[in-house]
A and B are shown apart, each in its own frame.
Chain A
Amino acid sequence: MDRRIVPCLNRGLALHQWPVTPLAFTLWSFVASIFAGVIGSLLGLGGGIVVIPVLTLLLGVPIRYAIGASIVCIIATSSGAAAGYVRERMTNLRVAMLLEIGTTSGAISGAVIAGLISPRWLFIIFGLVLGYSALAMFRKRHETAAESVPPDRMSDRFKLHGSYFDEALGREISYRVTRAPLGLVLMYVAGVVSGLLGIGSGALKVPAMDLGMRLPIKVSTATSNFMIGVTGAASAGVYFSRGEINPFIAAPVAAGVLLGAWAGSHLLGRLQGKWIRMLFVVVLLWVSAQMLWKGYFWK
C-alpha cells in the first residue's frame, strides 16, 4: 500500500476506531483469511493482496506486522492446497523444481542488488508487463489446452511433459511443455523483482507458465502455488528473527488461510479453466494498477 494513503484511510474508515476487542479481531481476520486462502490457492498467488489491505486499512495493524502475516499467508496458501494438488497431479513437480532454481537464484540476486536500483522504475516497468500479460491471457480465454506446441529439447530431456485429471471436463488432459529455457529466464526475473519489490511473485509466475511454457492454466496456478511456498519459507526466517511475525496477528491468518486453501484446492478441479483465467486477469489488472500507482507516486 502507498505510504501516503494508508494513514489517511486509517483515520477515515478504519474499523479499529471502533472498540474492537482481541476476540473480535481474531474472528474478523480469520474470516478474511479464509477468503484470501480460496483466492490464493485457485490463482497460484500468495493472498497478500487480500490480507495486507484488510489488516492495515480495516484493522489498523502496523504495516510491518501485516507484511509478516502475509508471508505466513503465502506459506499457508501453498501448504494448505498442496496435499490435494499433488494427489490430483495438478502440480507439475518437475517443472516446479527446475524453475525454482531460477526463482531462488533471482531472489538472492535481488536481495544483493537492492538499493542499487530505484524501485520506482521497476514498479512502472512491471506494472506495464503485468498489464500486458493480463491482456494476452484475456485473448486466449477460450483455449482449454494447447493443441500443439513448438518442440523443445530441454523439456524433452528433463521429461517435463505431464497429464492431470480435469474434473470439470471429466477426462485426463495430457499436455506438452515448451520453451523451458525462456521459463527459467522469466523465473529468474520474477525472483529478482520479488526480491526487490517484495510483491508480485505469483502474479509473474503464472503468466510465464501459461503464456510462455504453455502449461494448462490449472497446472500453471497449482505449480505456482507450490513454488511460492518454497520461496516464501526461505524468506520467512528473516521476518521471524526481525520480530515481524506477531503471533497474535499471524495465528488467525494462518488458520483461516489453511482452511480456505484446502477448500480452494477442491474447487480448482471442478471450475472451468476459462473462469480461472478470467479471475486471474481481473486480479492481474488490479496488481498491475497497484504497481503503476506505487511507481507514479514514489518518493
Chain B
Amino acid sequence: MSDPDSTLTPAERDHRVRQVELLISRLLRIGVLTSLFIIVLGMVLSFTHHLGYRESADELKRLTSDDAEFPHTIPDVWQGLVRFQGRAVVMLGLLALIATPVMRVAVSIFAFIYERDPKFVVITSLVLALLLLSFLLGKVE
C-alpha cells in the first residue's frame, strides 16, 4: 500500500478493478441465492407443519396480529432452528439477506487494498465504522 501510484500501471489497475468487479458480482449472487433458498425453505416448512394455513382465515389473523409470536433475538432464532421451526428458518434467511450489503462494504475494503487505492481504503473503512456506529446507537435506544 506504500507509494500507491508507481506500483501499478493504468492497464494493470483497470485489469484489477475488473477482476474485483466480477468477484464482487459473483459473491453477491451467491449471497442472494443462499438467502432466497433459506427463506423459501422456511416458508415450505411452515406450510407443511401447519396444514391449516391453506384454508383457515383465522390462522392469518393470528399470524399477522400485533402480538403474533415469532423469534426476534438471535438466541430465539437459534432455538427455533434446532427445532426445525419454519419461522426461525425464514428469519435465518432474512438475517443472511440483511448481512449481504454490510459484507459487501467489508469486502470492498479488501478490494481497494488490492487495487492499491489508499484513499478509498480509508473512505470505505470510515463507512463501515459509521454503519456499525449507527447499528450500536439503534441498539442503545
Contact = CB atoms under 8 A, between A and B. Distances in A.
Interface in A20-70: 20-23, 25-26, 59-62, 64-65
A72 to B, nearest CB: 6
B101 A23 contact: no
Contacts, number: 186
Interface stretch (A81-89, A124-132, A140-148): A81-89
Given A83-B29, A238-B138, A254-B97, A21 B102 contact: no
Contacts of A258: 32, 36
Which has the most chain B C-beta neighbours within 10 Å: A64, A237, A248, A252? A248
Interface string B68-81: 10111100000000
B9 interface: no
Which has the most chain A C-beta neighbours within 10 Å: B21, B22, B138? B138
Contacts of B139: 237-238, 241
Interface string B16-39: 000001101110110110011001
A243 interface: yes
Interface residues of A, number: 64
Contact of A247 (B57, B70, B73, B131): B70
A237 B101 CA distance: 13
Interface string A236-255: 11101111011111111011
Contact of B90 (A22, A59, A111, A251): A251
A207 interface: no
B55 interface: yes
Contacts of B138: 111, 234-235, 237-238
B110 interface: no
A113 interface: no
Contacts of A108: 130, 133-134, 137
Interface of B: 21-22, 24-26, 28-29, 31-32, 35-36, 39-40, 42-43, 46-47, 50, 53-57, 59-60, 63-66, 68, 70-73, 87-88, 90-91, 93-95, 97-102, 104-105, 108, 119-120, 123-124, 126-127, 130-131, 133-135, 137-139, 141
Interface of A: 16, 19-23, 25-26, 59-62, 64-65, 72, 75-76, 78-80, 82-84, 86-87, 89, 93-94, 97-98, 100-101, 104-105, 107-108, 111-112, 157-158, 229-230, 232-238, 240-243, 245-252, 254-255, 258
